[in-house]
Amino acid sequence: MTTHGRSSCTSILIGKKASLDGSVIIGRNEDSRTAWPKHLAFHQRQAGAQTFKSHDNKFTIDLPEEAFAYSSTPEWTKKYGLFEEDGINEYHVAMSATESAYANERVLAIDPFDAEKGLLEEAMVTIVLPYVKTAQEGVKRLGEIVEKYGAAESNGILFADRDEAWYLEIGSGHHWVAQRIPDDSYTVVANQLSIQEIDFKDPANFLYSAGLQEFVYEHQLWPKEAKFNWREIFGTRSESDLHYNTPRVWYGQKLLTPSVKQEPQSFDLPFIQKADRPLSVQDAQTVLASHYSDTEYDLTNPKNAGQASFRPIGVATTQESHLLQLKGEDMYHWLAMGVTAQSVYIPFFPQGTKVPYMWGNGKVDYSPNSAYWIFKLAGVLVDRNWGKYGKELADAQTEAKEKVLRLRYEYDQKLHADPSQATAIADEANAKMAKTVTDIYNKLISSLITQQTGDSPLSFQMDPNL
């Protein structure tokens, strides 16, 4: 298997009774490199026989003849694969394929598969999302593909529809489990296998690969008399987890359930948690943008520069962050380009067909006509002195968020009033929201550059007495 330096992510899933307005919400940060642009894309319904061929290995699969319309966030280049990562299809099904989790090497060693021909993360959204009408259908389709072809890496995949959210984990080349997130609960997941006890007699809440139990017992990976704990069997308890993974889960739960006291390096943080209050999509955004604020681990604190104790949720390598929100006939593909803490989520309407200007642009080198690079440039300028310029960034973010929410409300009313014009209304809304935010950020960039002309180390002030 070949890669191009993909890193990690943090995910969140919220059940409809745990959310403030009855929405099902799933999303995550997509992390790879500090300069690796993403684009927004809208795919239209297609008919006819198609075959998917991986850009990264020899994985090939014949696809169903009908492909539904869907949104996605592909890479700037197809050289290493599509990596569409996330999106919502016309049947109100949302999907997000995470970066690979750390898998138990001993399990992979006894579950052989052909890595050169196995399913990669590159393909997951592309070969599943356009072909399913419910979250459970998505889980089952991907599960069948993993069982047949094998997976070239251990992954966690998020699914949702208007009624429920599911989280699927691949534990080895051919074995997987999926758990339905209880309606009144949420979960925060880092780069580690997280699902815990599996109830094989509860198909409404658990799905799994054929022969999973037999595989585990045959290879003596777990005692038959004990409760079947997926995390303990296929997951890890490494030193790396204590600094890289568990602290992110701890902080996400600390933000949403502060009443429960836990330790950042605990291996026993629960997969399923209940919030202390109803959760909004803004609460989910706060989690994905977080960097241990108001704790001793905050990386924006100058004393922690270059000596971080824990890997935060929001990092410089974030390419984009998305939240996929579904409620009744409403659906929003919230997208924040670049570093989440320095960007703004825009609630794009996935039923659109036209990608807003600058949201389909951007290569690996900076360019001013790319939405990704606009947000990255603002962040780079703020990074020169977060204490000095952080407030100006926060003010710009507040202005952008307020204007975007007003626009979303305005166009929601138009969509509800005339659903027959949904495509045209969505295209107009998406263009207007995108331009509003990028205009605000360009103004911020102009101000920061102007101010920073005075920050040069070559500055010299003559003593007035000379």
Which H or E run includes 159? strand 156-160
Query: Exposed, middle or buried, 456 (CB in 10 Å: 0-12/13-18/19+)?
Result: exposed
Is 229 in the active site? no
Of 6, 8, 9, 389, catalytic: 9
Angle at which helix 135-149 crosses helix 121-128, to 10 degrees, equals: 130
Q: Render 28-80 in DSSP notation, one character per residue.
A: EEEE--SS--B--EEEPPEES-EEEE-SSSS-EEEE-SEE--EEE--BS-STT
Look at residues 21, 12, 18, 14 and name the one whose alpha carbon lies nearest to residue 328. Answer: 21
Q: How many Å from the N-terminal Cα to the C-terminal Cα in the chain?
A: 68
Which amino acid is residue 427, in one-letter code?
A: D
Distances (CA, A) of 375 to 107, 157, 317, 342, 395: 41, 27, 13, 7, 15
Look at residues 186, 176, 113 and name the one whose alpha carbon lies nearest to residue 140. Answer: 176
Query: Are the C-beta atoms of 246 and 266 separated by less than 8 Å?
Result: yes
For residue 99, give both structure tokens: 């970066």
Active site residues: 9
